[in-house]
Chain A
């Protein structure tokens, strides 16, 4: 398995609080991604990074921000959590980009009450 860890693995938080999810890789891959998985919607890209301090928005980026200060770490922050952000969040990495497969972390189950 690719060396990808996510923390925390489970979190329950209240509406309006900020939440940060962490993705850590040991593969030295350039590209990193955050997705959310919801029933009936498959995987939707939130944000991605193509290098240290280089990030861009995905299709469902509203209410989320990211940071990447080191190659190995990619942080996802919910600025003010809402119930609609209850989901399973997956981090993924890719070596080169467009024609390379992605490797996924184990996921974080986030519940916003």
Chain B
């Protein structure tokens, strides 16, 4: 069975500071990893994904994520946070044996960026 853990329910950072939202995963075989963002009263939006290749993946809105196979982690990062980055962030994983692209989602991390 595949699983995702987002160990922090809440992350608070000051505007202009770097941010990290943590994610660890468990899956059989090579993982496919995703980050999604949910703004208030909206659906989820895709940010970035890791399938294979370079361990540093760049995505939308200046976000990037680093895949670390030995630590089974896929942390989301941004060098300089904006107030508008405040949202709920979900990490998701699927594996090569997963039927129909079923992803397992973490419980989410609320990011608050203060001016």
Determine, out of B62-70, B76-84, B99-107, the stretch whose residues face the partner at the interface: B99-107
Q: Decide if A104 touches B105 in the complex (CB within 8 Å).
A: no
Q: Decide if A42 touches B107 in the complex (CB within 8 Å).
A: yes
The residue on B at minimum CB distance from A103 is B46
Q: Decide if B43 touches A101 in the complex (CB within 8 Å).
A: no
Tell which of A43, A50, A101, A106 touches B99, judged by Cβ atoms closer than 8 Å: A50
Whether a CB of chain B sits under 8 angstroms from the CB of A74 is: no
Query: Chain A interface secondary structure, helix, strand, loop or mixed?
Result: strand
Count of A-B contacts judged by CB separation below 8 Å: 65
Given contacts A42-B108, A98-B95, 8 further A-B contacts (CB under 8 A): A42-B90, A43-B105, A48-B102, A49-B100, A50-B100, A102-B36, A102-B44, A106-B42
- Docked complex Cα distance between A63 and B107 (Å): 22
Q: Decide if B43 touches A106 in the complex (CB within 8 Å).
A: yes
Whether a CB of chain B sits under 8 angstroms from the CB of A58 is: yes
What is the 8 Å Cβ interface bit string for chain A, positions 55-94, against chain B (1 contact, 0 not)? Answer: 0101000000000000000000000000000000010101
Q: Decide if B105 touches A42 in the complex (CB within 8 Å).
A: yes
- Docked complex Cα distance between A50 and B100 (Å): 6
Q: Decide if B107 touches A102 in the complex (CB within 8 Å).
A: no
Q: Decide if A40 touches B107 in the complex (CB within 8 Å).
A: yes
B residues contacting A by CB (< 8 A) are: 32, 34, 36, 42-46, 49, 51, 90, 94-96, 98-103, 105-108
Query: Chain B interface secondary structure, helix, strand, loop or mixed?
Result: mixed
- Docked complex Cα distance between A4 and B42 (Å): 13
Q: Decide if B43 touches A48 in the complex (CB within 8 Å).
A: no
The residue on B at minimum CB distance from A44 is B105
The residue on B at minimum CB distance from A49 is B100
Task: List B contacts of A17 (CB < 8 A).
Answer: none
- Among B44, B45, B51, B90, max chain A CB count under 10 A is at B44
Q: Name 20 interchain pairs, CB-CB below 8 A, sorted by A.
A: A4-B43, A31-B100, A31-B101, A42-B90, A42-B105, A42-B107, A43-B44, A44-B105, A45-B102, A50-B99, A50-B100, A90-B43, A90-B44, A92-B44, A98-B32, A99-B101, A102-B44, A102-B46, A104-B44, A107-B42
